[in-house]
Structure 1
Amino acid sequence: MLGFDVGAARKVWTAFLIGLLLFIIYIASTTVLVVVFAVFFSYLIYPMVALVERVRPRRVPRVASIAIVFVVVVALLAVVGSLFGVELQDQASRLVKQLPALLRTDVQNRLPLPHFLEPLRERILEFVRSQIETGSDKAVPLARSLGVGVVHAAGNVIYLVLVPILSFLLIKDGEKMRKAFLALLNRPHRTLWVGIVDDVNVLLSRYVRALLFLSLATLLCYGIAFSLFGVPYAFLLAVSAALLEFVPFAGPLAAIAITLVVAVFSGFPHPFWLLLFIGLYRLFQDYVLNPYLMSEGVEVSPFLVIVGLLAGDQLGGVAGIFLAVPVIAALKIVVSRAQVFYAASHEQGDAARHALTGRTDDEA
C-alpha cells in the first residue's frame, strides 16, 4: 500500500539496530573490553572447571567446584607475581634509567653490516646518529608517558577484580544465558544461531588456549636462550615477547625489534646469532606449533589480518589489535553459516514448489 515494502522496512530496521548496537559498543568501549577479557579468562579457566566437575561428588554444588578452581588459579597467579614481579620491575626500572645513556653510546660504529652494505656504512651510520639524537630527546618524555600510563592502569585496579568475578558468573550461568538467547529467536532462525553460537564457542576456545600456550612457549624458549647467550635484560625481554604474542602478526614483529634494539644498544656482541635463534624459533612456532594448536576454524588470510589490525588500532588501540583476529574469524563463521542456511532454505523452497507444481499437473 502506497509503495510501502514491509520486507525492505524490516531490513532497514535491522540495519539500524545493528548500527545502534555498534555505536553503543564504541561509546562503552571500556566496559565492553572488560567483558571481553572476562570471556577470554573464562575460556582459559573452563578446562580446569570441567576436570573438577568430573570428580566432583554429587552432593557438592557446582558453584563450589567453580569457586575452588578460581581460588587456586588466583593464588597461583599471586605466587608467580610475587616470585618474578620484583625481578621484572627491577630490570624495567634499570632499562628506563639507562635508556638515554644507551641511546647516546657509540655502539653503532661497532654494528656489523653485510659486505654488500659496507660501502654505505657512513650514510647508514649518519642516519642512525640522527635517529639516536632525535630518540634521545624523546626518551625521557616517552618514559614519563609510560609511567603515567602505568599509574592510570593502577588507578583502575577495579577492572582487575571485575574480570575474574565476571568470568566466574559466565561459567556458572553460561548455559542459561545461551538458552535464554536462543529462546528469543523464532524457530527458522534458531537453527542458524545454534550453529553460529556453537562454532564461535569452539573458535574462541581454541584461539584463547592456543594464545596461552604460544605465549608460555615463547617465555620459556626466549628466557632460557637469552640467559644462555648473556643478553642484557633477558627476563624483561622474554616476558615482553610472551605478552606481545597475544597481539597477532604485529606483536611478534615488535618483540623481535625491541629485543634486537635493546641487545645491540646494551653492548651485546653477537646480535646475528641472536637474530638467527629468533628466526629459527619463529619458523618453528609459525609453521609447526601454531598450526597444531590453532587447528582448523581459526584461519584468517594475511590480507584480512593486516586490514583488521589497522582497523582495530584505529578503533580501539592495543585492545582493538588484540581483538581483531577473533572478531574477523567470528564474522567469517557468521557469513559461512548464513550462506549454508539460506542456500538450504532456497533448496527446500524450490523443492516444495516443484512438488506443488507436480501435484497440480497430475490433478489436471
Structure 2
Amino acid sequence: MKDMPLTVRRSIELLGIALIGAILVIGNDIIMPVIMAFFISIVLLPIFRFLKKHKFPEIVAIILPILLVAIFVGVIVWFFSAQIGVLVADFPQIKNNVNSHLKSLSEWFSTISHVSTREQMKFITEKSDDLLGMAGKAASGAAVTLSSIFVFVGLLPIYIYLMLFYKDILLRFIFMWFKSDHHPKVKEAIYETEAIIKNYLVGLLIQVTYMTILLGGILLLVGIKHALLIGVIFAILNLIPYVGALIGNIIGVLLTLTSSTELWPVITVLGVIAVVQFLDNNILMPRIVGSKVKINALFAILGVIVGGSIAGVSGMFLSMPIIAVLKVIFDRTETFKQWGVLFGDERPSKSPMTFPAFRKKKIIPVKAGVEKTKEKD
C-alpha cells in the first residue's frame, strides 16, 4: 500500500470509512451487542484472572463475574421500578402541579400578547390530542423495540462468556494479521487498549456512584422530592459526553416542576447540578480516569451523534471508548497516524500553516521546560 499514489491511498481510506459506516448501520442489531460484550469482558478480565489464579475451574471463573454484572443490573432495574412506582402514586398531585404551572404560564403570556387564555387552552388541547395520537403510533412499535432490547440483553451474557472462553483464539487471530517483526507493537497496543477500556469504564462506574450519592444526597437534604431519581438519571445521562448533561438538566427541571408549584426547587436543582458537575469535571473525574483518554471535544460530540444515529442509546454510550480504541490503533500505524492526530487533543504549539515542521507525522520533543511535541521534517 505504501507504493500506491497518495491520492489512491486516501481514496481507499475514505471508501473504507464509508463501508464500515454502512456495515454498522445495516448490522447494528448484531454488531452492537458484540461490541458491548467485548468492552464488558475486558472489564471482567481482572476478576477472571484472579479466580483462575486461585484454582477456580475456568467455567466457574467466567460465570461468577457475569453473575455479578447481572446482579448489578438487577439492582438498577429494581431501583428505577421503585422510583417509577412513587411517581405513579403521586400522579394526581403531579397533574395538579402541571395544571398550576400551565395556568401561571398562560396568565403571563396573556400579559405580553393579545392571545386570550381561552385561545391558549384551545391550542394546548389541540396539540395535546396530536401528541396523544403520536404516542399511540409510537406505542404500536413499542413491542418490537422491547423485544429487540430483550434479545440484546439476552445475547450479552452469551457473548461475554464466549469471548472470555475463546480469548486466546481471538488474540492469536489478531497476531496472525501481522508480521512477526510487528508483534511487539501489536502486543503493546493490545495492553494499552485493555488498560484504556478498563480505566475508562471502571471510571465511569465510579463516576455514576459518586454523582448519584452527591447529587441525590444533597437534593434529599435540601428537601427536593424525587431527589434520588434525579441523581441517578443525571449520573447515567452524564456518561454521554456533553449532550447527556444537557438532557439530565432538562429532566431534573421537569421532575422538580411536576412535584412542586414553587420556583425555588428548580433553581436549587440547577444550582446543585452545576456545583456537582464542576467538581466532577475539574477535580474528581480527571483523578479517576486520568489522562488515558485524550479525545478532542469536536470528535467526542460527533461520535455521540453518529453513534446515536447508528445504534441509539447504546451507540451514544459506546462512542467514546470506541474512538479511544481507534486512536490507540491509529497512533501505532504509519498509514493511519493522521487519523490519530485528528481524534486527539494534542494541539501543536505553533501553527502548521507557518511552521512546516508541524506538518509531518514523526514527532520530536521541543527544547523547552514543559513537555511539548514538535513534528519532524
The TM-score normalised by the length of structure 1 is 0.73
Instruction: Kindly state the Cα deviation for residue 166 of structure 1 after the two structures are TM-superposed.
Output: 0.9
CA deviation digits over 1:213-232, x for unaligned, max 9?
A: 11122222233233333323
> Given that residues 294 and 324 in structure 2 are in contact (C-alpha distance below 8 angstroms), is that contact kept between their aligned partners in structure 1?
yes
1:243 paired with 2:239, answer no
- Structure 1 residue aligned with 2:199: 206
Matches within 5 A, 1:64-103: 64-75=60-71, 77-78=73-74, 81-82=77-78, 84-93=79-88, 102-103=97-98
Instruction: Kindly state the Cα deviation for residue 162 of structure 1 after the two structures are TM-superposed.
Output: 1.1
User: Within 2, Cα distance between the matches of 1:302 and 1:79?
Assistant: 33
> Given that residues 44 and 208 in structure 1 are in contact (C-alpha distance below 8 angstroms), is that contact kept between their aligned partners in structure 2?
yes
> Given that residues 100 and 139 in structure 1 are in contact (C-alpha distance below 8 angstroms), is that contact kept between their aligned partners in structure 2?
no
Instruction: Kindly state the Cα deviation for residue 298 of structure 1 after the two structures are TM-superposed.
Output: 0.8
Which has the larger helix fraction? 1
**Which range moved further: 93-102 or 254-263?**
93-102
> Given that residues 101 and 261 in structure 2 are in contact (C-alpha distance below 8 angstroms), is that contact kept between their aligned partners in structure 1?
no
Change (3 A) 1:307 1:242: same
1:221 paired with 2:224, answer no
Larger relative contact order (C-alpha < 8 A, sep ≥ 6)?
Answer: 1
**Secondary structure of the residue that 2:333 maps to in structure 1?**
helix
> Given that residues 37 and 160 in structure 2 are in contact (C-alpha distance below 8 angstroms), is that contact kept between their aligned partners in structure 1?
yes
> Given that residues 189 and 329 in structure 2 are in contact (C-alpha distance below 8 angstroms), is that contact kept between their aligned partners in structure 1?
yes
- Structure 2 residue aligned with 1:355: none
For 1:65, the aligned partner's letter is A
Matches within 5 A, 1:298-337: 298-337=293-332
Aligned residue pair count = 329
- Structure 1 residue aligned with 2:47: 48
> Given that residues 247 and 322 in structure 1 are in contact (C-alpha distance below 8 angstroms), is that contact kept between their aligned partners in structure 2?
yes
**Which range moved further: 7-16 or 192-201?**
7-16
- Structure 1 residue aligned with 2:26: 27
> Given that residues 207 and 298 in structure 1 are in contact (C-alpha distance below 8 angstroms), is that contact kept between their aligned partners in structure 2?
yes
CA deviation digits over 1:56-77, x for unaligned, max 9?
A: 22xx422222223323442454
Instruction: Kindly state the Cα deviation for residue 95 of structure 1 after the two structures are TM-superposed.
Output: 7.3
**Secondary structure of the residue that 1:184 maps to in structure 2?**
coil
User: Within 2, Cα distance between the matches of 1:292 and 1:223?
Assistant: 22
User: Within 2, Cα distance between the matches of 1:173 and 1:79?
Assistant: 29
User: Within 1, Cα distance between the matches of 2:258 and 2:194?
Assistant: 45
- List gaps (5 residues or longer) in structure 1: 111-117, 348-364
Change (3 A) 1:152 1:222: farther
The partner residue of 2:58 within 62, 70, 73 is 62
Instruction: Kindly state the Cα deviation for residue 198 of structure 1 after the two structures are TM-superposed.
Output: 2.8
**Secondary structure of the residue that 1:65 maps to in structure 2?**
helix
**Secondary structure of the residue that 1:105 maps to in structure 2?**
helix
> Given that residues 240 and 255 in structure 1 are in contact (C-alpha distance below 8 angstroms), is that contact kept between their aligned partners in structure 2?
yes
- Structure 1 residue aligned with 2:164: 171
> Given that residues 39 and 170 in structure 1 are in contact (C-alpha distance below 8 angstroms), is that contact kept between their aligned partners in structure 2?
yes
> Given that residues 215 and 272 in structure 2 are in contact (C-alpha distance below 8 angstroms), is that contact kept between their aligned partners in structure 1?
no
**Secondary structure of the residue that 2:332 maps to in structure 1?**
helix
1:273 paired with 2:268, answer yes
Q: What is the alpha-carbon root mean square deviation over aligned residues? A: 4.1
**Which range moved further: 7-16 or 203-212?**
7-16
Instruction: Kindly state the Cα deviation for residue 292 of structure 1 after the two structures are TM-superposed.
Output: 1.3
> Given that residues 219 and 227 in structure 2 are in contact (C-alpha distance below 8 angstroms), is that contact kept between their aligned partners in structure 1?
yes
> Given that residues 107 and 265 in structure 1 are in contact (C-alpha distance below 8 angstroms), is that contact kept between their aligned partners in structure 2?
no
- List gaps (5 residues or longer) in structure 2: 339-360, 364-377
For 2:237, the aligned partner's letter is L
> Given that residues 43 and 197 in structure 2 are in contact (C-alpha distance below 8 angstroms), is that contact kept between their aligned partners in structure 1?
no
User: Within 1, Cα distance between the matches of 2:134 and 2:229?
Assistant: 18
For 1:64, the aligned partner's letter is V
User: Within 1, Cα distance between the matches of 2:101 and 2:159?
Assistant: 52
Change (3 A) 1:30 1:164: same
Instruction: Kindly state the Cα deviation for residue 138 of structure 1 after the two structures are TM-superposed.
Output: 5.8
User: Within 2, Cα distance between the matches of 1:130 and 1:175?
Assistant: 66
